[in-house]
Every structure is written in C-alpha cells, then in structure tokens.
Structure 1
Amino acid sequence: MVVMIKVIVAGFKGRMGKTTVQMVNENQDFELAAVYDPRATESNLNEINEYQALDVPVYSELQQIKSAGLDVWVDFTSPASVFANVKFALEQRISPVIGTTGLTDEQVGELQRLAKEKKVGGLIAPNFGISAVLLMQFAQQAAKYLPDVEIIEMHHNNKLDAPSGTALNTAKMIAKVRKEKVQGNPDEKETLPGARGADYQGMKIHSVRLPGYVAHEQVLFGGLGEALTIRQDSFDRISFMSGVAVAISKIKNYDELFVGLEHIL
C-alpha cells in the first residue's frame, strides 16, 4: 500500500498557491490535506466554485491548523509572514518547502538551527524552475573566469520584494568564487540616484517590474574584448511545479533545512 504524502498549501489564494493546489491535487502520490491563507473566509475548499469537488479544510490563522498527520508545508505567501509560517511548521515537525522570498540571512540561520533541533527536513528555494537552478550553477562557473558581472531580473508588476530571491541567490553563489571588487569607473556618479542598481559585494543587481512578465533573469559577464550573457525565462507558473513536486517527494528524507533546490536534485 502506497502512503500518500499529506500536504498543506499556505497562500492558496495567490497565483502560485492556486497552481500548487492544482498540482498537488492531480499528483497521485500526494494528498491535499489542508490549505491556509490569512485572507480566507471559507472553512472548506468546496465553498469555492473551482474546488467544489474537494473536501479540504481551510485555515486563516496558524493557531487553527490541526497539524497532526501533515507531512509537508508548501509556502507561497508573503515576505512579511513567511518567517512565522516556517517557524510554526518546524515546531509542528512539518517539513517546509518554501517558495516565498524575503527571508533575511539571520532568519534563515535561525530556521536552520530549529530544523536541526527538531530533526526536520526542509527547503527554501529561491526558484523551483529547473532552468533557473541551472542558470545559477552556470553563472557561478562563469564567474571564476569572468569576474565582472551584473544581474538583471524581470518579474510581474505585483511582486512585493526586490531584488528577487533568485537574483540575490545568484549573486551569493557568484560571491563564493569571486573576490569582491568595484566594477566600472571608480569615479562614476549617478545623476539619477539608483541608476546603477543595488550593490552586492561589487555586483550590480537591477530589478524590472512590468505587467506581462512572470519570472526572468539575465546574468551579464564582461571581459576584455568579449561578453557572455546567461538568460533564463519562466513564461508560466506551471514551470515551477516540477521542482515543487520533487521537493515534496524528497524532503522528508532529510533532517536539515537546505537553501536551493540543487541540494536535493
């Protein structure tokens, strides 16, 4: 007898949350056991027209959640609430799979310590797209030889945080193989503040927010007489679901909190 993985989706009213609910419901190895969103007014998913065939409890407060039997907490909520959500999940020994960005390094460290204490596996993924994971790995490799780099990330105009978690993680991965350096003219002056973008250890990160976009990133490298551009595009949120499904399937096999999907692929 196959034991299904019981999943709670946090942020089910958002676009990524809705896509995740659909994926979990259609996966024969998963059971959609509950959903959570502070904006919810329903008590059951079947009160919503598109989910009339589903008998799934809806929660709008963390304290309401009946955690017994839940295996994996998938979180696509907001930067303001993700830390409390993940801490709650770990304390209840529910393995978190986190797609929400905005956690600080200090918060990640605290959550990783809690995961080790509770011996609970978890994942914080700046991006669940396989192409995005490959972009970050390729960029890290290229930075060993082309240390002058700038990052441009492009997302839909409703995204709350900037830069994106993927862009920031790309910069962190590059920083591991690249010495911090000042790029461009050391005497340059911004005639319009912010024109050169955000700075991470000498690398510039630029954020674009426009309707019609989903999630896109370019990493630009420059050298003497040459240039390299690595680009990744996610045209539909369904592109993230293969990574989410892999994380749900594997995360209970671990007893620590990872940052980056590549750690469990």
Structure 2
Amino acid sequence: MSIRITLAGSTGWVGKALVAAIAAADDLVLVGAVSRSAAGQDAGEAAGLPRQGVTVSATLEEALAVPSDVVIDYTKPGAVKAHALTALTQGRHVVIGTSGLSGGDYADLDRYALAAERGVLAAGNFSITATLLRRFALEAARYVPDVEVIDYASAKKPDTPSGTARELAELLSEVRLPATSKAVDELAGVKETRGGALGTREPVQVHSLRMPSFVLSCEAVFGADNERLVIRHDAGASAAPYVAGTLLAARRVSSFIGLKRGLDAVMD
C-alpha cells in the first residue's frame, strides 16, 4: 500500500523537487499540497511538471481534509511548528525539513507526538553528506573539546543560524568536554563578535554569515594544541541532495512514536 503524502511548501525550492520525486516513486502518492501563492492550481503544474490531479490548498487545514499518512513540511520558520501540531492533532506523522525551530519547540513537538502516538522526524538538513558531517563532528568532539560552528547562507535566508548549524551545535553541546577558550562574559570589547551560544550542557559558539554567492554551508572547527580539524559540508544550487533523505524519512517516520532529530536516527 502506498504512503499518502501531504506536502506543505509544494512550490518552494525543495518542494518542487519533492513533487517530482513522489510522482516517480512506486510506494508514495501525493494526495495534498499547500502553497498560498499557487492555491487552486494543480500541484504538478504549479511545480513546472505534468498535472498530478491534486489541487493546491492555501492552508494545511484545507489540505488535511483529504486523508493522508504523512505531512512533509518545507515552508517557513514561522509556520512550521503550527503546521506540525495541526498535523499531529489530525493523526498524521510529520517530517520537518524547515529550519528555525528551537530546543523548546522540539520538546513541545515531542510531547504532542507522544500524546498523539505519532512520529515526528525533523532534520536541519536531509542530505546524506550533511548527515555525515554531523556524525563525524560528534565523533571528533569526544576527543577534541574546543569546537565552534560556522554557518554560511545566502543574503536572503530569513533565519539564523541555519537548521543544520543549530542542530549540530545543540548535539555537540551534549558530548563535548568544557572548552579552554575564555568565557564570553569575561571578554572585553564587542562580545557579540564571538557569536551565539547554543546547547545546554556545554554550549557551542555559532557564527552565521549571510551574503551573496553562498547557498548553504556549515563547518565544525576543532582546535587542539598545535593542530586544527575542520569538517565542512557545502550544498550546491540544486535541491536534489535533500530529496532522497526526505523520502526516506517519510517512509520511516511511522515506525516510531515521538520526536527523532536527524536523518541518521532512521538510517541504521
């Protein structure tokens, strides 16, 4: 039986690629699409593809009038949490590819998912190579305590840091040892130049650059006595790297209850 997908953000950069990929998959079927700018159009035509026989809705609530199994969200930071809660209350599993959620937001989603007995899989980046960046960085942090994250994106990216950088920093903070660098509150000068601290146990400094020529890049910089390690992921101009991971998430999200973060949570 095919997995029925409702796609929020169907005319976005990743959304258009997902419409095509879902149409080509034997085990997935698009039954709902959400895009305010394309409401009333056919989901395929709105994405520059052949007709799919699915009318784009202006809101997720409208799209959920059609039965589905999984909601995939690639919308905007200000909308994604409300979308996820709406989907959970209506009995859907949720895959979140939109960035901008905080640790508190994820805690709320976990509670709602557990109460609804549904799964939520959220990732700052669904590409396989970005997932490997996270895995390798977490391994390095067990041996090198000093680490900071640098996040690069285009001048028009609306949230900071990126979901990739936020997720990486929060996870690094759970496994790293205390840093040897001087604490920010002990510094003189412009303290904001040290970036923002993310995480709970041992917070990690994150620095975000927003300027033309970047798509998305993220690097973890480790420093030890007389040596340095940089682990970096660079994304190209195509949304293709995110599609396979998102569809894998859609196939696996019904296998658990509650929130899982990161594609590697369902890869092994």
TM-score after normalising by structure 1: 0.90
What's the CA shift for 1:225?
0.9
Q: Secondary structure at the match of 1:195?
A: helix
Match of 2:188 in 1: 189
Distance in 2 (alpha carbons) for counterparts of 1:64 and 1:166: 30
Match of 2:98 in 1: 100
Which one of 107, 110, 113 corresponds to residue 109 of structure 1?
A: 107
Give 2:254's aligned amino acid: K
Distance in 2 (alpha carbons) for counterparts of 1:221 and 1:100: 27
TM-score after normalising by structure 2: 0.90
Aligned length: 262
Distance in 2 (alpha carbons) for counterparts of 1:184 and 1:49: 50
Is 2:38–2:46's contact at 8 Å kept on the other side of the alignment?
no
Q: Please identify, of 32-41 and 238-247, the stretch whose mean Cα deviation from structure 2 is larger.
A: 32-41
Matches within 5 A, 1:68-83: 68-83=66-81
Distance in 1 (alpha carbons) for counterparts of 2:5 and 2:31: 5
Match of 2:211 in 1: 210
Give 2:116's aligned amino acid: K
Distance in 1 (alpha carbons) for counterparts of 2:104 and 2:47: 41
Distance in 2 (alpha carbons) for counterparts of 1:198 and 1:245: 32
Distance in 2 (alpha carbons) for counterparts of 1:114 and 1:216: 32
Shift in CA distance, 91/49, structure 1 to aligned 2, threshold 3 Å: closer
Is 2:45–2:51's contact at 8 Å kept on the other side of the alignment?
no
* Deviations 1:111-159, CA, capped at 9 Å, x for gaps: 1111111111120111101111111121111112211112111122222
Q: Secondary structure at the match of 1:81?
A: helix
Match of 1:30 in 2: 28
* Deviations 1:178-211, CA, capped at 9 Å, x for gaps: 24446258764345x6322222345321112233
Match of 2:154 in 1: 156
Match of 2:88 in 1: 90
Judging by fraction of residues, say which structure has more helix: 2
Match of 1:44 in 2: 42
Is 1:150–1:220's contact at 8 Å kept on the other side of the alignment?
yes
- Structure 2 residue runs without a partner (length 5+): none
Shift in CA distance, 249/92, structure 1 to aligned 2, threshold 3 Å: same
Which one of 60, 74, 81 corresponds to residue 62 of structure 1?
A: 60
Is 1:182–1:202's contact at 8 Å kept on the other side of the alignment?
no
What's the CA shift for 1:34?
1.2
Match of 1:127 in 2: 125
Q: Please identify, of 62-71 and 44-53, the stretch whose mean Cα deviation from structure 2 is larger.
A: 44-53
Distance in 2 (alpha carbons) for counterparts of 1:248 and 1:36: 17
Q: Secondary structure at the match of 1:176?
A: helix
Shift in CA distance, 42/219, structure 1 to aligned 2, threshold 3 Å: same
What's the CA shift for 1:39?
3.0
Give 1:199's aligned amino acid: A
Shift in CA distance, 68/179, structure 1 to aligned 2, threshold 3 Å: same
What's the CA shift for 1:176?
1.2
What is the CA RMSD across the aligned residues, in angstroms?
Answer: 2.1
- Structure 1 residue runs without a partner (length 5+): none
Q: Secondary structure at the match of 1:212?
A: coil
